[in-house]
Amino acid sequence: MNSIIHLTNKSMFTKAIVRRPAHTYANGITTSNLGKPDINLALKQHDAYCEALIKCGLELIILDPDPNFPDSCFVEDTAVVTNDFGIITRPGDSRRLGEEVEIKKVLEPLLKLYSINAPGKLEGGDIMQADNNFYIGLSNRTNLSGSKQLADILTNHNYEVYSIPVCNLLHFKTGVNYLGDNNLLLHREFCSKDDFKSYNRTIIDNEEEYAANSLRVNDYVIVPKGFPKTKMSIEKLGYKIIELELSEYQKMDGGLSCLSLRF
């Protein structure tokens, strides 16, 4: 049946930046109560993540670990990138401030760059692009000043920008992710929001909330392993799936999208 579903991909990615977790990874920030991560297993899971991105057609820029920043494998929070330009963020938790410096060095030769400046705070995990729309989650990590600075840059580039309060989750994309083709994965926190009524919404089952952060990359949707209902819902939409074990990243409040910057 899948062959009759016509899927498009308006924003094909060609590259991704990833960063290996450091030996200090277990000292990072977490609220999960899932126990201490095993760095060797985390490295294996990172290898599998990189292989999945290569299977999706991406050329990888793999950065060395930085033990000074235990959360620095979650590169998505340090920049917002489109195919034409990027915005270097200003992470909202002071323990992560400074991770963006290395990412700026990597992106500078590749894209026109802007920056979020103090008192703005903004993390990429709070920013979701859905075709010509950008949604900015106002969370503990992204404040009004950061949101306004980003919105000004994006509207100057003719994107529509919406800001959405995020109350019970770390980042906006912990709970909402756009797959393309008007398909949106949605945590129950956002079910009643009018902003998303025009999308074809898949509401994530209560026990599968971690899988709301599934990731469309070109012809595939990457789904965390162990969430069969979400996997089946995404398959029914007609997508090819890659399943990945993410246990050691879930322990540190990290998801599939956080582990790379795709452009």
Q: Residue 30, interface with ligand GLY (CB under 6 A)?
A: yes
Q: Considering beta carbons, is residue 28 or 146 the nearer one to ligand GLY?
A: 28
Q: Considering beta carbons, is residue 180 or 254 the nearer one to ligand GLY?
A: 254
Rounded Cα gap, residues 71 and 123, in angstroms: 13
Q: Residue 66, interface with ligand GLY (CB under 6 A)?
A: no
Q: Which of residues 74-103 bind ligand GLY (CB under 6 A)?
A: 74, 96
Can you tell me which of 28, 137, 175, 255 binds ligand GLY, judged by CB under 6 A?
Answer: 28
Rounded Cα gap, residues 220 and 209, in angstroms: 20
Which residue minimizes CB distance to ligand GLY? 29
Catalytic residue among 50, 56, 171, 187: 171
Q: What is the CA radius of gyration of the chain?
A: 17
- In this chain, which stretch among 15-23, 44-52, 183-191, 250-258 interacts with ligand GLY, using CB under 6 A? 250-258
Distances (CA, A) of 7 to 62, 96, 138, 199: 30, 37, 31, 15
Q: Considering beta carbons, is residue 224 or 254 the nearer one to ligand GLY?
A: 254
- In this chain, which stretch among 23-31, 130-138, 204-212, 226-234 interacts with ligand GLY, using CB under 6 A? 23-31
Q: Considering beta carbons, is residue 123 or 181 the nearer one to ligand GLY?
A: 123
Q: Residue 177, interface with ligand GLY (CB under 6 A)?
A: no
Q: Is 171 a catalytic residue?
A: yes
Give catalytic residue positions: 171, 258
Q: Which residues bind ligand GLY (CB under 6 A)?
A: 28-30, 71, 74, 96, 252-254
